[in-house]
Amino acid sequence: MTGPDGAIPVARRTLLVTGCSSGIGHHAAHGLGQRGWRVLATCRKREDCERLRAEGLESFPLDLADPTSIEAGFGRAMERTGGRLDALFNNGAYAMPGAVEDVPVEAMRAIFETNFFGWHDLTRRALRVMRGQAQGGRVVFNSSVLGFTGLRLRAPYVSTKFALEGYADVLRLELMDSPIRVILLEPGPVTSRIRQNAREHYERWIDRDSPVWGAFYRDTLEPRLYDDSGTKDRFELGPEATTAKLIHALESSAPRDRYYVTTPTYMAAYLKRLLPGRLMDRLLMQG
């Protein structure tokens, strides 16, 4: 039996997930719930939480751009589980297309607030709980192929993911003598609403009449950004591909430090090791 807001009064392995309104987070919440995990599926918007509760998930708001919301959301999670947290899946993030010279400093601060600083705040809170548990816990970060490979017009998102990769590497070293594991997922093209969700940030911050990039925005970027035909990118996989790697990261007795998801991620990692920088840049200019 669940409570009026979807609370489930049972004791089992607990997983806190951010960014569950759609895409990877939404599929992961349902997938891990079906495997017996108690999933605390959080979203930025209350209406999305209501929808998730109607789907049978245990959901409440947690806005990664709002420290007060992070504190309240994490506190709510701990109240529900009696202070237990077996795993945290940091997933909530957004993208904002635009050339570096057209991205205001305030826009860069805003995307880091959600994609990086909010994750840091939540991770610190989770670690305090996990260090007090004999079984430790697992912290999984949903990074990207863009966490180690840059593409033009994606600097804000790429910057947050590059920062995240270094952050996770250091955290893994610092927790090496503890029972807490730190794991990175690195998806390439996975079906989600990241493109649709990026539109509001593009419209808010980027001058489409930029003297240098304006024509490129109108002729090349925007037709793809506003394409709602449902046409998939080449090599694009469904969110179940990421959930499968997340399951291994959470349930394996020997999880990997990194999990590549999709062919482009494997290819990019291989080519970065193999090719000189100039040649790699030429290949990336085609992306």
Whether 190 contacts 23, CB under 8 Å: yes
- For tokens 């030429």, what's the residue? 282
Helix (H, G, I), strand (E, B) or coil at 1: coil
Sheet containing 180-187: order of strands: 58-61, 38-43, 14-17, 87-90, 137-142, 180-187, 258-261
* Residue from 94, 157, 217, 259 carrying the catalytic annotation: 157
| Beta strands per DSSP E along the chain | 14-17, 38-43, 58-61, 87-90, 137-142, 180-187, 258-261
Q: Beta 137-142 vs 38-43: how paired, if at all? A: unpaired
* Active-site annotation holds for 157: yes
Q: How far is CA 179 from CA 33, 100, 185, 250, in A?
A: 23, 41, 20, 13
Whether 17 contacts 41, CB under 8 Å: yes
Q: Which residues are catalytic?
A: 157
